[in-house]
DNA sequence: TGGCGACATGTCAACATTGGAAGGTAATCT
DNA sequence: AGATTACCTTCCAATGTTGACATGTCGCCA
């Protein structure tokens, strides 16, 4: 379960409430590890119970500001250095490609061409996103940029692949 | 839920038992849409209840040979042409990269270099896989090759990206 | 003929994930 | 002052996913 480590990672940078974290997930982690509000609040309570994070301040409207504890930081480092990431494996797009045989060649080609367009659009959206972010000299900026570069290269690759695939089908 | 459509897709090619499908998932779909035995057998029963597939023969040891029905094929086509694939979004690798700031620069660089190696190895494993498959002129071969090409390009891209990222950190 | 490995299906508990409902407080705008 | 919007948390039902356990049959070969 990576959600707990995602929360620890965000709290390693700065303290935050569940509500803050929810927005962080929607902005910076939306394309990496999406999470819903129910999941986040539930996990925060578990982490607090387990002593990996703690409430450092209570604000208006029942706001609870969480901070990472020593144990939490240790656990985050342990996760990074001592556990293997499980390869990201499910791809609905690829699954569909597998079964294009049930459509006509024309339909398949159109499908793949549509994918190419979509990927190009996503690449552009990421470039927009990149421009909208104020990068500084922090670690989060450095690694955030590296993650974003991954997204850019990923979409460029998929774009080219889809065009190549459409040509193959033809 | 794509599992049901994965099953429909496999049955579009030929009839098969749950056991056959289980092995197909482990071989051809392992890197695209993994599924466990419990999931497969449960879903087959639901699909049969819903009339999307039907038992066409019973063999020894309680073996049930399933085939796609007209409704099943229609549903598979509908899924392909009329529904949007939800973008493949979770990446544990990328999530980890986001939080490399809690490690030292040396550790981070080593981590990224390790990724580069891993991706290169995966690319080689896919090439092995490619050689081991007997490609014919069927649709499944055509689209299977296209899917495999995706994997090859994907790993090449990740390999280069990880090397670039390691250099950035340095 | 006894045993082993492959074949074949079914069931269950636990956890992950989604989406929504519910309930409330503080700040801001008109 | 009243309405709206943003803030903030908790709970729940439904579904997806994993891994393990249970159960039994058939074919082969030593």
Domain-embedded: residue A87? no
A53 and A119 belong to one structural domain? no
CATH number of the domain enclosing A50 = 1.10.10.10
Q: Please tell me if residue A12 touches chain B, with a CB cutoff of 8 Å.
A: yes
A97 and A53 belong to one structural domain? no
B51 and B109 belong to one structural domain? no
DSSP B2-21: -HHHHHHHHHHHS-B-HHHH
State pLDDT tens for residues A47-62.
Answer: 999 999 999 999 999 9
**Which A residues, 148 through 167, put their C-beta within 8 Å of a C-beta on chain B?**
149-150, 153-154, 157-158, 160-161, 164-165
C1’ C8 / CA B99, Å: 46
Cβ contacts of A76 within 8 Å, gap of 6 or more: A5, A8, A9, A12, A68, B99, B102
B130 and B110 belong to one structural domain? yes
CB contact under 8 A, B143 and A5: no
B72 and B102 belong to one structural domain? no
State pLDDT tens for residues B107-165.
Answer: 999 999 999 999 999 999 999 888 878 788 887 789 999 999 999 999 999 999 999 99
pLDDT above 90: residue A103: yes
Kindly state the helix (H) or strand (E) to which residue A146 belongs, with its residue range. Answer: helix A139-169
Average pLDDT score over residue span B55-76? 97
B96 and B73 belong to one structural domain? no
Find tokens 């999470």 and name the residue. A35
pLDDT above 90: residue A87: no
Give pLDDT, residue A34. Answer: 95
- Asked whether strand C has any atom less than 7 Å from the CB of A45, the reply is no
Q: Please tell me if residue B12 touches chain A, with a CB cutoff of 8 Å.
A: yes
A138 and A68 belong to one structural domain? no
Task: Report the helix count and the strand count for chain B, using DSSP H and E.
Answer: 7, 2
Q: Please tell me if residue A139 touches chain B, with a CB cutoff of 8 Å.
A: yes
Of B82, B109, B130, at which residue does a domain stop? B82
Contact between A135 and B109 (Cβ < 8 Å):
no
Interface test with B, best of A107, A110, A150, A154 (most B CBs within 10 A): A150
pLDDT band, residue A86 (cuts 50/70/90): confident
State pLDDT tens for residues A28-39.
Answer: 899 999 999 999
Three-state DSSP class for residue B107? helix
Q: Can you give the residue range of the structural domain that contains A165?
A: 92-169
Structural domains counted in chain A: 2
pLDDT above 80: residue B51: yes
Give pLDDT, residue A139. Answer: 80
């Amino acid at each position: 379960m990576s959600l707990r480590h995602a929360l620890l990672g965000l709290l390693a940078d700065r303290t935050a409430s569940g509500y803050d974290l929810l927005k962080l997930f929607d902005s910076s982690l939306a394309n990496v590890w999406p999470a819903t509000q129910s999941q986040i609040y539930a996990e925060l309570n578990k982490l607090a119970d387990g002593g990996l994070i703690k409430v450092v301040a209570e604000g208006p409207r029942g706001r609870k500001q969480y901070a990472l504890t020593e144990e939490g930081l240790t656990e985050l480092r342990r996760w990074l250095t001592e556990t293997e990431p499980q390869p990201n494996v499910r791809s609905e797009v690829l699954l569909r490609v597998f079964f294009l045989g049930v459509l006509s060649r024309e339909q398949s080609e159109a499908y793949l061409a549509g994918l190419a367009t979509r990927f190009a659009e996503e690449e552009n959206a990421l470039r927009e996103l990149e421009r909208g972010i104020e990068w500084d000299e922090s670690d989060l900026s450095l690694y955030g940029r590296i993650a974003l570069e991954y997204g850019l290269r990923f979409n460029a690759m998929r774009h080219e692949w889809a065009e190549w695939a459409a040509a193959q089908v033809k």
